[in-house]
Chains A and B, each alone.
Chain A
């Protein structure tokens, strides 16, 4: 059974610092991984697709990378509006699936 493991569950950082979020796939999914940001009471917002391509309108401080089966979302110079939940999502296998989420606080 395919598993997408997101870590850490909670990340405590200060404004201006860098946050590094991880998402590891149990099997190879190529670059078929997407990152979303979600704030309370709102739907998720697309940040990065194809492992590293920022979506339209997403600030350059958000960057995605991949090393084998491990994907990383880096938020450089955290701003107050970046404190939120972040989810990764794989669309390589069916059923598609999400990581458990990382709360950046």
Chain B
């Protein structure tokens, strides 16, 4: 079955960067794309960006332009998210989700990123 398994929780200082990985399996990796969505504690969902896993094309929400980088490694069917210049309000659970037969049809388990001085 389709699975997206994310890397573990992370704690960072303000100004640092964080990298979260999303290992996919159970489907043809090169069909469709992967979106990243975050959720601050007790808050709603926020779409951050998307990567086309075949050609590496990316679309970023304007809010994250310049700070967010999405990449993929087709040999390991893994997608990576890097967020730079972290702020305290970047503390959130970060999810990867597949854009497959339907938008965001399968999700990773989430990765808690805490930003604190």
Any chain B CB within 8 A of the CB of A76?
no
What is the size, in residues, of chain A's interface with B at 8 Å between Cβ atoms? 22
A97 to B97, CA, bound (A): 14
Stretch at the interface among B10-18, B24-32, B72-80, B103-111: B103-111
- Chain B residue at minimal CB-CB distance from A99: B44
Measured in the bound complex, the distance between the Cα atoms of B115 and A99 in whole Å is 25
Chain B residues with CB below 8 A from A43, complex form: 95, 97, 107-110
**A-chain residues with CB within 8 Å of residue B62 when the two chains form the complex:** 95
**Neighbouring B residues of A94 by C-beta, 8 Å:** 59, 61
Q: Once the chains bind, are B102 and A44 in contact (CB under 8 Å)?
A: no
Given contacts A34-B103, A46-B105, contact A95 B61 (CB under 8 A): yes
Query: Contacts A43-B108, A43-B110, A44-B107 known; A97 to B47 CB distance under 8 Å?
Result: yes
Contact with A along B45-62 (1 / 0, CB 8 A): 111001000000001011
By a beta-carbon cutoff of 8 Å, the part of chain B in contact with chain A is 35, 37, 44-47, 50, 59, 61-63, 95, 97, 102-110
Question: Which A residues contact B (CB, under 8 angstroms)?
Answer: 34, 36, 38, 43-46, 49-50, 53, 55, 87, 89, 91, 94-101
